[in-house]
Chains A and B, each alone.
Chain A
Amino acid sequence: MTYQASDFPGRSPVYRRWQDQPATPVGDTLAPLVTGGAGGAQCRLRDLSALPRGGLRGADTQALLQEAGYALPAQPNQLVQSGATLIARLSQTEHWVLDTDPAAPSDLPAVQAGRRVYTLPCQDSHAWLVLSGPARAEVMAKVCGVDMRPAAFAPGALAQTSVALVSAIVLHHQLEGEDVFSLLCDSAYADYLWGALLDAMAEFDDAAIGSGAPPDASA
């Protein structure tokens, strides 16, 4: 069914692209769920901005997350995927936790006073776009200086770089059984980046595009 964006306190930064499309709420956030993105498409773009995520930074961050049972990446610019949860390590001490299943959000451990840990709320500051399909590395080559072919940028790799002249974090991980690139960019640039990526994708196929939360999230 078609929802009114004004009915929801939270909206994806790219919701205007989908205002007239069928949409699915994820919690109290409007997450457009658009069909398309047929199985044979060379590249597809989706918007997962409504899904939960958060970050921690500071000298005691690793100890705090390990006590909470998270498996952490060994080096900066790597990520670990356990089930539907991604743990991305952005620097020596900065870690982001992202959930691809909105039904089971990870509870970031509470920060006790005196511990050198600072919370980084990135739910609303960053948009979360997902580029998938066999041509995803070729699409990225048009807008980004980092080599993202599988030999150089394997699943589990993370790059903080400039994508279509916008600062973004690119994560290579699995989503619904296929390798995908997740792009996290400033939410104010999300609408521009969405259009820039569609433009870069246009030559690879007839831009079969899906958007929204994973289908099981609509249940």
Chain B
Amino acid sequence: MKMLCCPLNGPRNVAEFAFGGEVREMPDPQTCSDREWAEYVFYPPNHAGVIAEWWLHVPSGYWFIAERNRSTDEVIRTYDPSEIYTTRVDFAAQEESKA
């Protein structure tokens, strides 16, 4: 059985987890070009080697980050996203110009 160590719940069967994509720096959606935003949303770099990935522990609804070597499938460490994300990001809706 494959195990993954959840920072909140401890080691669990990997069947309890769902993959959430690579951890990437988000461009500012207000100022970046459409091209940059499309790169961010649709085109992950998909490198071999050690990558930081989002994982969800489904029964507790807890998102965390795992550093995993994609060549060997070895998980180097898992940690709470608050280690990286320390401030809240608010998405202000752009005012649409009235016709």
- Chain B proximity mask over A58-96: 1 for CB below 8 Å, otherwise 0: 000000000000000000110000000000001100000
A159: CB under 8 A from chain B? Answer: yes
Contact A159 B58 (CB under 8 A): no
Nearest Cβ on chain A to B12's Cβ, whole angstroms:
7
**Which partner residue on chain A sits nearest B58 by CB separation?**
A167
Q: Inside 8 A of B45's CB, which chain A residues have their CB?
A: none
Q: Inside 8 A of A91's CB, which chain B residues have their CB?
A: 8, 60, 62
Contact B59 A145 (CB under 8 A): no
Contact B59 A160 (CB under 8 A): yes
Contact B9 A160 (CB under 8 A): yes
- Secondary structure at the B interface, as helix, strand, loop or mixed, is mixed
Q: How far is the CA of A90 from the CA of B59 in the complex (A)?
A: 11
Contact B60 A162 (CB under 8 A): no
Interface size, chain A (Cβ < 8 Å): 13
A139: CB under 8 A from chain B? Answer: no
Partner of A159 from the list B9, B13, B15, B62 (CB cut-off 8 Å) is B9
A168: CB under 8 A from chain B? Answer: yes
B16: CB under 8 A from chain A? Answer: yes
Q: Inside 8 A of A161's CB, which chain B residues have their CB?
A: 9, 12, 16, 59
Q: How far is the CA of A168 from the CA of B57 in the complex (A)?
A: 12
Kindly identify, within residues 1 to 40 of chain B, every residue whose CB is under 8 Å from any CB belonging to chain A.
Answer: 1, 8-9, 12-13, 15-16
Contact B13 A160 (CB under 8 A): no
Contact B60 A90 (CB under 8 A): yes
Q: Inside 8 A of A160's CB, which chain B residues have their CB?
A: 9, 57, 59-60
Contact B8 A167 (CB under 8 A): no
Other 16 A-B pairs with CB < 8 A, given A77-B9, A161-B9, A167-B58: A76-B8, A77-B8, A91-B62, A145-B1, A145-B12, A145-B13, A145-B16, A146-B12, A159-B9, A160-B60, A161-B12, A162-B15, A162-B58, A167-B59, A168-B59, A169-B59
Binding site for A on B (CB under 8 A): 1, 8-9, 12-13, 15-16, 57-60, 62
A-B pairs with lowest CB-CB distance, top 5: A160-B60, A167-B59, A160-B59, A145-B13, A162-B16
Question: Could you list 25 examples of A-B contacts with CB < 8 Å?
Answer: A76-B8, A77-B9, A90-B60, A91-B8, A91-B60, A91-B62, A145-B1, A145-B12, A145-B13, A146-B12, A159-B9, A160-B57, A160-B60, A161-B9, A161-B16, A161-B59, A162-B13, A162-B15, A162-B58, A162-B59, A167-B16, A167-B58, A167-B59, A168-B59, A169-B59
